[in-house]
Amino acid sequence: MEDVGASCGVTRLILYRHFETKEELYRAILQEVFDRLGEELQAGLAAGPTRGLGARTLLVVAREEPAAFTLLWRHAAREPQFAEYASQFRSVSVDVVRRFIPLRSDNPVIDAWIAESLFGWLVEATLTWLECGDPSLDAEFVERATAGLVGLRSAWS
């Protein structure tokens, strides 16, 4: 907590006034990222055309809080006390994929695999872009990632 406080410019005492445990802080960070993803998705849906919405939503939130985004999608699932929490977030996210991307394999097992794989691929693509991509090329990332999703879905359907 001391390191977290130092990086935020506050003392450990201030952190403990808001969060009784490290676990509570960790969960609050995960929830914050997930909530922002939902807000950004809703704003994108309200704005009109949805092409690129998934990639754009993930990237906007990832750019806002890269460490928190990485914590949610890369680390939380590997931490025993947060694995179930991360699994629930992923399940909700995969359901969004299923709602917005038509999956028509006529086999529910294959459709479940496609939805999970598409979401996993997009998250990993976003995390990789955060690590090595140039923010000035974010619009190109969104286009290429969207084309990749379309290609994967086409190949697998």
pLDDT, tens digit, 9 for 90 and up, residues 124-149: 999 999 999 999 999 999 999 999 99
pLDDT band with cut points at 50, 70 and 90 for residue 103: confident
Separation CA 75–CA 68 (nearest Å): 10
Position 14 scores a pLDDT of 53
Position 111 scores a pLDDT of 92
User: For 8-46, how does the pLDDT look when each residue is reduced to its tens digit (9 = 90+)?
Assistant: 454 545 555 665 677 887 788 889 999 999 999 999 999
Position 6 scores a pLDDT of 45
Position 16 scores a pLDDT of 57
Lowest mean pLDDT among 19-33, 87-101, 107-121: 19-33
**Residue 117 pLDDT greater than 70, yes or no:** yes
Report the mean per-residue pLDDT for the chain: 87
Contact 127, 55 (CB under 8 A): no
Angle, alpha carbons 91-66-115 (nearest 5°): 25
